[in-house]
Amino acid sequence: MKPKLKHELRTPLNHILGYAEMLLEETRATEVGEWHRGLERVHALGQTLQRGVDELAPPPTGGPDSSGPPRTPPEWPGLVGEIRGVAEQLAALAPPDLPDAPADLTRIRDAAENFGRLIAALAVPAASGVPSAAGRLELETEEIAAEEESVSGTDVSNTEPGRLLVVDDDEGNRRMLERRLRRLGHDVLCAADGREALALLHRTPRDLVLLDIQMPVLDGEETLRILRADPELQRLSVIVLSASRDLSRVVRCIGLGAEDYLPKPFNPVLLRARIDACLGKKRLQDREAEHRRRIEELLHVILPREVARELQATRQVQPRAVAEVAVLFTDLAGFTSWCSGKSAIAVHRELQGLVEAFEEISARHGLEKIKTIGDSFMAVAGLLSPLPNPAAAAVACGLELARAAATHGEGWRLRVGVHAGPVSAGVIGRQKYQYDVWGDTVNTASRMEQAAPPGSVCVEASTWAQIAAHYEGESRGVVSLKGKGEREIYRVTGLRNAPPGGGTANG
């Protein structure tokens, strides 16, 4: 039998079974006698026809009718007529608390008529040996009732509702699935083909797609291929729902990344379980992604951004030597004595406000904060991001830091030391990472801070030579520095003109 014909037969069967199942679910608690038995009868008849469609095969080869269409059981027209008749009878018995019931019964009747027209078009009597549907019907009715009773109490939902997209070219299928899924609490959108689905997905985020295979315009297989090639949508979960029994197409869809496949007509309990499994998997993936994002944020707090990226990518950070880096040190004059008699909360509040302001100012001038030690703040210019004049950028930053400290809280006088030269840098430690710099340039910058009068920025003569064209300053003479001998020190008093690529007008 041609797959397309079986697909056409299964579409009305999907409507008959789906709407009957939904009406049974909605009346399960009250069980309105004749109404409930009638729905069970419709469902049993639909399952009998479904099983018969699955068993249909082309006529035996070599016979007189071997080139014709498949032979259908003679009972089928009678079963279809009974479905239609029961649906019409039930319309008069619909409980008042089920406002959708009359419309659903009309859909069942229309689907039965459509199925009848399809089998009438075959117009071939059944051959001997085709299993009789009538002999199985009563037994199947009892089996279906027992099966529904066994699964009705099974709670397969163990995940929160999700955002779903139903993609199916058949309006009845879309409406039925949408209603069923909304009753389970899901947020549901629908699309009639793949092109419409892709447009919707780019506008409205979804957690899961229920995708039909055989559709006009853009079929399910091609839609899935486009999804997997789209960086924004490639991780979206997809369940293929199709009346097609073409195994090769199903295999291709799974190969393209579909999470699962369910044939139409589908078992509602199984569908719910598969949806919950996909949504549960997505929730886990979302939590893992959020966990990774928080780790990245934490690394970026502990380490400079470029260093954190290198550590994540390679699990190590290569030490580096840079020939021209400006190192800045600051210290709050009188902070230690101020802390005496203050509460821990008050000390922390004052220091936190200052450090946050220092971090913002340093970043604006292109400096990278290295660390704080007590009330001492350390930053560097030109280490990770090249600057035309690292010394000028660090001095401009130091001047603004001193002004910010003077206007903050208690009105602090900040000592700032800057020195430019070669440094080595790398990550130290394993239990607690620390990105640090070392070398004579670091030591000299620290000595400049110690030698600076409160409220000023000081540099050594070699650094002054790099910034003298852009800054006003005065020599403080030759000063003996611990471990460095005698060095001439300059106090920077203000900006002469804007340095190229280092410092700002605020400096």
pLDDT for 504 equals: 53
pLDDT for 28 equals: 63
Query: What is 488-506 written as a DSSP string?
Result: EEEEEEEESS--TTS--TT
Query: What is 392-416 written as a DSSP string?
Result: HHHHHHHHHHHHHHHTSTTT--EEE
Question: Which of 86-90, 133-137, 205-209, 484-488 is predicted least confidently?
Answer: 133-137
Asked if the model's pLDDT at residue 152 lies above 70, the reply is no
Asked if the model's pLDDT at residue 488 lies above 80, the reply is yes
pLDDT for 150 equals: 47
pLDDT for 334 equals: 93
| Whether residue 76 is found in the same domain as residue 128 | yes
Tokens standing for residue 391: 């010394």
List of residues 6+ apart from 290 with CB closer than 8 A: none
Burial class (CB in 10 A: 0-12, 13-18, 19+), 296: middle
Residue 137 covered by a domain:
yes
Q: From CA 115, how far away is CA 109, in angstroms rounded?
A: 10
| Whether residue 144 is found in the same domain as residue 182 | no
Q: Which domain holds residue 130?
A: 3-152
Q: From CA 17, how far away is CA 334, in angstroms rounded?
A: 83
CB atoms < 10 A from the CB of 265, how many? 23
Q: From CA 245, how far away is CA 264, in angstroms rounded?
A: 9
Total of domains in the chain: 3
Q: What is the mean pLDDT of residues 141-154?
A: 46
Q: From CA 282, how far away is CA 287, in angstroms rounded?
A: 9
Domain boundary among the residues 228, 262, 284 is at 284
Q: What is the mean pLDDT of residues 23-48?
A: 80
Domain boundary among the residues 284, 308, 336 is at 284
Find the angle CA(348)-CA(351)-CA(352) to the nearest 5 degrees: 80
pLDDT for 82 equals: 87
Domain of 393, CATH number, reads 3.30.70.1230
SS3 421: strand
Q: What is the mean pLDDT of residues 257-267?
A: 84
Calculate what percentage of the chain has a pLDDT beyond 70: 84
pLDDT for 499 equals: 65
CA atoms within 13 A on the CB side of 58: 12
Asked if the model's pLDDT at residue 4 lies above 70, the reply is no
List of residues 6+ apart from 505 with CB closer than 8 A: 495, 498
Answering whether pTM is above 0.75, one says no
Asked if the model's pLDDT at residue 405 lies above 70, the reply is yes
Domain of 65, CATH number, reads 1.20.120
CA–CA distances in Å: residue 41 to residues 38, 82, 109, 157, 493: 5, 9, 14, 28, 96
CA–CA distances in Å: residue 482 to residues 51, 155, 487: 95, 77, 10
165, β-bridge pairs: 189, 209
| Whether residue 146 is found in the same domain as residue 219 | no
Range among 74-78, 131-135, 283-287, 445-449 with highest mean pLDDT value: 445-449
How does pLDDT run across 39-94, given as a tens digit for each residue? 888 888 888 888 888 777 655 555 544 455 556 677 888 888 888 888 888 888 88
pLDDT for 137 equals: 42
Asked if the model's pLDDT at residue 364 lies above 90, the reply is yes
| Whether residue 422 is found in the same domain as residue 454 | yes
| Whether residue 243 is found in the same domain as residue 336 | no
